[in-house]
Structure formats: C-alpha cells, structure tokens
A and B are shown apart, each in its own frame.
Chain A
Amino acid sequence: MKTTSGIWLVTAGVAALLYARQGIAAGTPAGTAITNTAQVNYTVGASTATATSNTTTTTVLQILDVVETVQTPSVAVTPGDLKKPLTFRITNTGNGPDTFVLTPSSTLAGDNFDPVLAAPSSLYFDTDNSGDYTAGDVAYVAGANLTLAANATVTVFVLNNIPTGLNNGDEGRSQIGATRKGGAGTAGQTIPGGGVGGIDAVFGSSGDTATQFGKYVVANNVTMSAVKSQTFGDLFGGTRPLPGATITYSVAITPGGTGTATAATFNDAIPANTTYKPGSIKLNGTTLTDAAGDDAGEYLSAPAAHVSVTLGNLTQASGVQTVSFAVTIN
C-alpha cells in the first residue's frame, strides 16, 4: 500500500514538472525589461532611515523555437485517391514573432510507396479553422514567409495523390518541414541583433526547425458482393429442370469500398445431384480450362467437387467480375 502511494506521488510530480515546462515554453515576451530595486530600513542611534538600491535591468532575449505535431498520424486511403490531406500543427514556441518557411516532401524512406504531392499546391492552411481540408482553405505559396506571433499555432494540410497498384496495408509517408526563414541553428547559438527590435536572438532546443511526417495506409476495408443467377436448358430445347438438363450458373462479383482484395479467389461447390459440365468455366466471357496451373480457372473433384477461379487483386476500380460454369442434372 505504501509503495503504491509512493508511485502515485512520483507520477504526480512528473505531471507538475511537465506543466511547469509548458509554462516556460510560452515565455516572457522578447524585449521585456525586467527591473529590480531593493530597499533597506535601519536605525542608527535613535534615527530611522530608508535607502533604495540602484535598479538592475535585465532584458529578455528572443528565443527561437518551433514545435510541429502531426494531427493525423495515419490516414486510410484507396489506391488512386486524389488530394488526400494529412494534418499538421506548427507552433512558434519562442517568445517573439518568428518567420518560417514550409517545405513538403513525400519521397521518404521507411515506407512502401511514395505518395505524390498534389499540384499546383500541396500545402494549404486551415483558413476556415474547420480542422479539415475544405474548399475555402488557402494554399501556401512555396517559399513564402509564414510569420507566427509568440505561442501562435497554425494548422497546415499536405495534400497527396495516392498511386494505383498498391496492396492492403501499404504505407506511404509525407511530411512538412518548418524552418526559420534565415536558417536553422543549434541550441544556444546566438544571432546578434537577430531578435525583435534588434535584440539578440538565441536558438532554443529545436534549433528553430521541426519536421513531422504522417502516413497514408491502404485500408483493408474492401467489400465483395456476389450475385448468383442460373439458367436452365433441358434436353428438349426448353428451360425445365429435368434430369439431363443443363444449369448454367453465373456469378457477378462486385468489389467495393476502399483498399485491395489481394489474390481474390472464387470457389463454388457443384450442387448435389448435379455433375460439372467439363470445359464450362468462363471468366468475363473467356473460356478457361479445367486443368490447374494453365490459367485462372480450375475444376477440382476432391475433396468436394467445385470450381475455382483466381481473380487476383481486386479494387473498386476493377469493376464487376463475372464467373460462369455449367452442371447437368443427374
């Protein structure tokens, strides 16, 4: 019990410390003059006197610091999607106005594919403060100055087009870099006269540059719907289900949703009291052989008689796939 209480106290202490650090991050405004004067009261003999000291003046220098966070670390996409946004927040954690230049990049290591930065503009501000990329948002002009007041935050979207031909779970990274207009520095480095009003500026821990990436993930929420229909052809040229009559089954498979159904395979059992009609498998109107390995279609008699057609990778863009085969009634 005592140990538990001790752990809780340590945790609370860490929280307090973090809060204090955040307080410092806001920072006393650059250029603030901090003055201090001491006073003394005393007696000599029967007399009382008061005196004040000189006044010390300490000027607050400008600290140059920036923090970037990714608001959407992972966004689900479908191959071929256009202008998909990732959302970032950039905060001037210095204590004076600071000017930044933003740089997007989508050719990053550590992923499966490279998203393609949208053209002509890939960076947009959340102008309407909706939190989402919307038609009213204004584009950032490449290389333009972005000036943020002390502690001010701006929300920026990077828009990418998603290539086709991707697999489920594939990840593609995209990032925004925010760097002081005059260039990044090292923590503690001073720029004489580089601060607001000509005071010195000092680089904070970030070096006044920050980069964060988010990623697009090809989502695995593809849907497959199948509609099966049958037509009869009896031995007498009619459509009655008599023994010896042929039933042609046609199955329309429609992929939907987002993502890719990888290595999709169609399997359908031969109904009881019927016999598979050899050479009757068709995929989208093209006849396939019953043998395994020579094409996408195959008839298997064991363990239970069924037809199997390999459909490959399917996305919504693949469209309807139609498989047909025929059986005869015993």
Chain B
Amino acid sequence: MKSQSSFAFIALLLPLLTAAAAAEHNRPAASPAVPKGGCIVLTTAAEQQLNVAAADGSSSVQYQPAARVVPGSEVVWTTTARNNCSKPAEKVVIDQPVPEHMVFIADSAVGGGAQITLSVDGRDYAPANALTAHNADGSARAARATDVRSVRWTLTGPIAPQSEFTARFRAVLQ
C-alpha cells in the first residue's frame, strides 16, 4: 500500500518534469535557471536633458548623450534592466553609484514598481527621509542630497521574461 502511493506520486510528477526538460531543450544553451550569460542585461546611459524650443513657442524635452559636459550642468543616468530569459527575474536589486564630482539632485531617483533607497557610503541604504550622515566630529545628522553616493532600486515585483525595468536619477556636475 505504501509503495503504491509512492509510485502514484512519481507518475503524477513525470509529465511535469518532461515538460520542463522540453522547454529547456528549446533554448540554445541548455542551462539551469540562470544561463551562463545571465538573464538580465543591464544597460546604462548618461544623458543631458535639453529643452528644445519649437517654432510655435512651445518646448519639448529631448535627451542627448552626455559625452562632454561643463561644470554646473545636469546629467541624467538611465539604467535599463532587460530580462532575456523565459522565466521571471525576481528579487531584483539595482545599485548605481553617484559618480565622483557629481551631486545627487534630491528626489530625482525614479523607477516605477521599485522601492528607492539611498546610501552615503555605498554599503548601507535607507529611504531619503531616514538617511543619516556624519559630521566631521562623528555626530550623526540628517543626510543632504550632497551626501548621497549611491542609489538603490529594490523591485517590488519580478521582471517578466523579455521585459524591461527602467531606473533613472539626476545629478549636477560640480
């Protein structure tokens, strides 16, 4: 009686396993859940926002690559995470440093469906209103935008197969 039940369980499971194997077989590189090349391709771009005036007096916002900038100008970093696998990517956390010489613009980090936290040291992250920094004498104080050295997007949901998540923040060149 006991062995019968065990057999029935295996029989029930077998078609599922076969289906999974077939799905993997269709992929060029048969691999475990995360293939060798990874599922997520992360692309980042540094851009400058331009307000282009039209002939009718209206203006539209355009982005152009920020290959060369002058002090005082604003740079927008846009990072796109694309899931190239057939399975959802979960527990996605994207970290992007605020580069040296750049000053983070308060409240400029955006990314739909993600909790955004900031860090003053690239190690510990907290929401903007809970972020602390240290004075020269070691005492703690509320962090300012100028203290922010890294931005983290913790996605609240998965990135579906063949889908993208876009994160963005702005900073000013000192």
Which A residues have a C-beta under 8 Å from some C-beta of B? 23-24, 26-28, 32, 34-49, 51-61, 63, 95, 199-200, 202, 204
Contact = CB atoms under 8 A, between A and B. Distances in A.
A44 B44 contact: no
B43 A60 contact: no
B40 A42 contact: yes
Given A40-B40, A49-B40, A63-B70, A24 B174 contact: yes
B101 interface: yes
A48 B33 CA distance: 9
Q: Is the interface on chain B under 10, 10 to 19, 20 to 34, or 35 or more residues?
A: 35 or more
Contact of B44 (A34, A42, A53, A199): A53
B67 interface: yes
Interface stretch (B10-18, B51-59, B83-91, B130-138): B83-91
Interface of B: 32-34, 38-46, 66-72, 75, 77, 79, 81, 85, 87-97, 99-102, 159, 167, 172-174
A51 to B, nearest CB: 5
A49 B38 contact: yes
A241 to B, nearest CB: 85
A27 B71 CA distance: 6
B173 A44 contact: no
A289 B91 CA distance: 112
Given A34-B101, A38-B96, A23 B174 contact: yes
Contacts of A23: 174
Given A49-B34, A53-B79, A39 B70 contact: no
A39 B45 contact: no
B79 A38 contact: yes
Given A34-B101, A35-B99, A44-B89, A54 B44 contact: yes
B87 A45 contact: yes
30 contacts: A24-B72, A24-B174, A27-B71, A28-B71, A32-B101, A34-B102, A36-B46, A36-B77, A38-B95, A38-B167, A39-B95, A40-B40, A40-B93, A40-B95, A41-B93, A42-B39, A42-B159, A44-B33, A44-B39, A44-B89, A48-B34, A49-B38, A51-B40, A56-B66, A57-B67, A58-B66, A60-B69, A60-B173, A63-B72, A202-B70
A38 B94 contact: yes
A53 B71 CA distance: 25
Nearest to A202: B70
A199 B68 contact: yes
B42 A36 contact: no
Given A35-B99, A36-B96, A38-B94, A63 B44 contact: no
Nearest to B172: A24
B121 to A, nearest CB: 16
Contacts of A27: 71-72, 174
